[in-house]
């Protein structure tokens, strides 16, 4: 298994290196316009200057905090509402119609409303991010809490578990794989919306840096911002995967 993973990782790295080499060659030969498609070396040079001069860290921190605050609010809210809907018929009857109405709304549609009430602020950005990122966690929680095996329900009834004991010992462990999978999708959406809200509301962050670089035709800085976002997304996804594997070790042990 480890050999297969290493082979796959090596192949993916080799493929990425090949694409970057082709991009560098096309840029040097000016087959593609260096104004709109700067070479990878120019992009990395711009990113290196931002790191050494310290101009990257403040926007990086601002975007990271907005993403994490929005994701945390979406995960907690989505998990609680999803647990209520998935484990209670009354909650399902009351909440599902409203959620079915709100779910198709894009996050950008509520941005003007959020700006109207909260202004061009971090609270507005967090609200928009949370609204857009809540749905993967909510739907995963509904599925996880609503798909408990009938045998487990019989065991709970036989042992006369209280409602709280049932949730802690049976419902939450059963729903946890779905919730964590939804949380990973939600985290990626949170990063996207953090950048979008920074561009829309002119809030300091990587999104604003990318927009300003685009408007002034500073393409190396623009692509440096995109590379930074890609590295962020890659790192947080793998960090969450590591947490997921640790929390779900019991599932692998019983597989």
pLDDT digits (tens, 9 = 90+) for 97-119: 888 888 888 887 888 888 888 88
What whole-number distance in Å separates Cα of residue 128 and Cα of residue 107? Answer: 6
Q: Which residues contact 199 (CB under 8 A, 6 or more apart)?
A: 207, 208, 210, 211
When pLDDT is cut at 50, 70 and 90, the band that residue 6 belongs to is low
Higher pLDDT, 34 or 189: 189
Cα-Cα-Cα-Cα dihedral of 8, 13, 16, 20, to 10°?
A: -160
What whole-number distance in Å separates Cα of residue 175 and Cα of residue 140? Answer: 8
pLDDT tens-place string over residues 157-170: 777 777 778 777 88
Q: Is the dihedral of CA 197, 202, 205, 208 positive or negative?
A: positive
What whole-number distance in Å separates Cα of residue 57 and Cα of residue 5? Answer: 33
Length of the chain: 255
User: What is the reported pTM?
Assistant: 0.85
**CATH architecture, domain defined by 40-254:** Orthogonal Bundle (1.10)
Instruction: Parse the chain into domains and list their residue ranges.
Output: 40-254
Q: Shortest CA distance to 219 belongs to which of 31, 37, 32?
A: 37
What whole-number distance in Å separates Cα of residue 168 and Cα of residue 164? Answer: 6
DSSP character for 162? -
Q: What is the 3-class SS of 16-29, one letter each residue?
A: HHHHHHHHHHHHHC
Q: Shortest CA distance to 87 belongs to which of 154, 164, 157, 151?
A: 164
């Amino acid at each position: 298994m480890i050999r297969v993973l290493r082979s796959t990782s090596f192949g993916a790295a080799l493929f990425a290196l090949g694409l970057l080499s082709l991009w560098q060659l096309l840029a040097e030969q000016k087959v593609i316009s260096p104004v709109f498609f700067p070479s990878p070396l120019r992009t990395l040079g711009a990113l290196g200057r931002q790191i050494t001069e310290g101009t990257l860290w403040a926007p990086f921190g601002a975007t990271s905090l907005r993403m994490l605050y929005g994701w945390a609010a979406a995960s907690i809210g989505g998990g609680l509402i999803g647990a209520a809907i998935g484990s209670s018929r009354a909650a399902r009857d009351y909440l599902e119609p409203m959620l079915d109405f709100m779910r198709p709304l894009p996050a950008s549609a509520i941005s003007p409303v959020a700006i109207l009430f909260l202004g061009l602020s971090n609270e507005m950005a967090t609200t928009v991010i949370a609204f857009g990122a809540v749905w993967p966690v909510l739907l995963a929680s509904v599925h996880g809490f609503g798909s408990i095996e009938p045998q487990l329900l019989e065991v709970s009834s036989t042992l006369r578990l209280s409602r709280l004991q049932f949730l802690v010992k049976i419902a939450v462990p059963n729903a946890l794989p779905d919730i964590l999978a939804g949380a990973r999708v939600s985290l990626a959406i949170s990063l996207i919306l953090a950048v979008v809200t920074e561009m829309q509301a002119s809030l300091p962050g990587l999104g604003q840096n990318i927009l300003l670089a685009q408007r002034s035709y500073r393409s190396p800085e623009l692509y440096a911002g995109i590379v930074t976002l890609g590295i962020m997304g890659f790192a947080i996804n793998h960090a969450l995967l590591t947490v997921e594997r640790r929390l779900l070790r019991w599932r692998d042990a019983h597989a």
